[in-house]
Structure 1
Amino acid sequence: FLAERNNVDSVSKLITKLEQNNLTSETIENGDNKGNRQSYTLVWLNKNVNSPENHDICAEFRQIIDHLKLFDNTEECEKQMKKVKNEKIFLIINGQFATEIVPKVHQNPDLLAIYVYDVNDDTKHQWIDEYPKVKHIFDNIDSVKNQLKLDVHDLHSKVDDSTKINGIQDNKSDDEHTHSEGHKQLDNY
């Protein structure tokens, strides 16, 4: 029991430090997130998000992050993202919305990454250089899914590694170790 308690304390300290370093999650509070079992929310902004052809894509996204929020207009999307309390957000947006919403939400501390999906990638996209949370502009949805899957896996691995290392650390205090691991995770993400 004592070992379990120490592990819980270590995880709690890690979470506190990660919160201070912007790597935890918040919940979009609009009433239908009670079943969220993860610490992430995937937000998809797409004018045709509710079309029948996107239903399978939504199911595939839920395989990666089970809490998926769908929006077809920028105002509602931005409004809901501001309500986040306990989750980190991954945002997928269609190219038509990108230049409108990215400047408005990029500074949101709960936003980890932005994936722009634009099949008409014939325009110049130098503007993304100003926004480091924009991972890439993708020309197909499968590439978005693959990158999202990699990013979520990498983030889970970094948190898991920090927790494991923190649990066996002998010669450093938990606070010192957690602090240094939190900075390493931030530097590596």
Structure 2
Amino acid sequence: MSQFNIIWLDANALDSKSSFRSKLGATKLFTNVDSCVKYVESHSNEPIYLIVSGSFAKEVVPKIYDSPNLVQVFLFCGSVAAYAEWAMDYRDKLMIFDHGDDLLERLWNDLQTSLQEQAMACFKLANEYKQRALQFKQSCC
């Protein structure tokens, strides 16, 4: 089963009074683009979900967009229209939100769907192994 990495890159990510931060829960926080990029690159076997502020998006997204472990980028900004044209080049993995609760709802739903898919795959594999084991079950004399 995959371990998810939720990353938040924002100049104010370390603000302990941020209501958005408290809603995120266990999240890797970055206030620097280079540190964030290094983290993504060093965790190449783990799915990454990146939440990025508009102020860092145009710098960080081009650097990590092609990383195979980057699942989704959630751009959190004050104006969706301000990023709409730029974001067209990244539309396969990028969604833009101007409201934190909408972003979090989508993030939690995406993670839930992914975990359900993994659970179903594990259940299917478990049943296959059970069927294999039954082939070797000895019948009573």
What per-residue deviation string (whole Å, max 9, x for no partner) do you get for residues 42-75 of structure 1? Answer: 1100011122432x4333212xxx3x11111211
Q: Per the alignment, in what secondary structure is the counterpart of residue 113 of structure 1? A: strand
Percent identity among equivalent residues? 25
Deviation at 1:85, TM superposition (A): 4.7
Q: How does 1:35-114 map to 2 (within 5 A)?
A: 39-54=3-18, 56-62=19-25, 66=26, 68-114=27-73
Structure with larger RCO (C-alpha < 8 A, sep 6+): 1
Larger radius of gyration: 2
Count of residue pairs the alignment pairs up: 130
Q: What amino acid is the match of 1:145?
A: L
Q: What amino acid is the match of 2:7?
A: V
TM-score by length of 2: 0.81
Aligned partner of 1:166 in structure 2 is 125
2:107 pairs with 1:148: yes
Deviation at 1:143, TM superposition (A): 1.0
CA–CA distance in structure 1, aligned partners of residues 55 and 31 of structure 2 = 11
Segments of 5+ residues of structure 2 without an aligned counterpart are: 133-141
RMSD: 2.1
Deviation at 1:117, TM superposition (A): 0.4
Poorly superposed stretches of 4+, deviation over 4 Å: none
TM-score by length of 1: 0.62
TM-aligned CA distance change 1:148 to 1:41, over 3 Å: same
What per-residue deviation string (whole Å, max 9, x for no partner) do you get for residues 77-126 of structure 1? Answer: 11221111542111000112111111110111111111000113341412
What per-residue deviation string (whole Å, max 9, x for no partner) do you get for residues 28-49 of structure 1? Answer: xxxxxxxxxxx01111000111
* Preserved CA contact (<8 Å) 2:5 2:47: yes
CA–CA distance in structure 1, aligned partners of residues 38 and 52 of structure 2 = 15
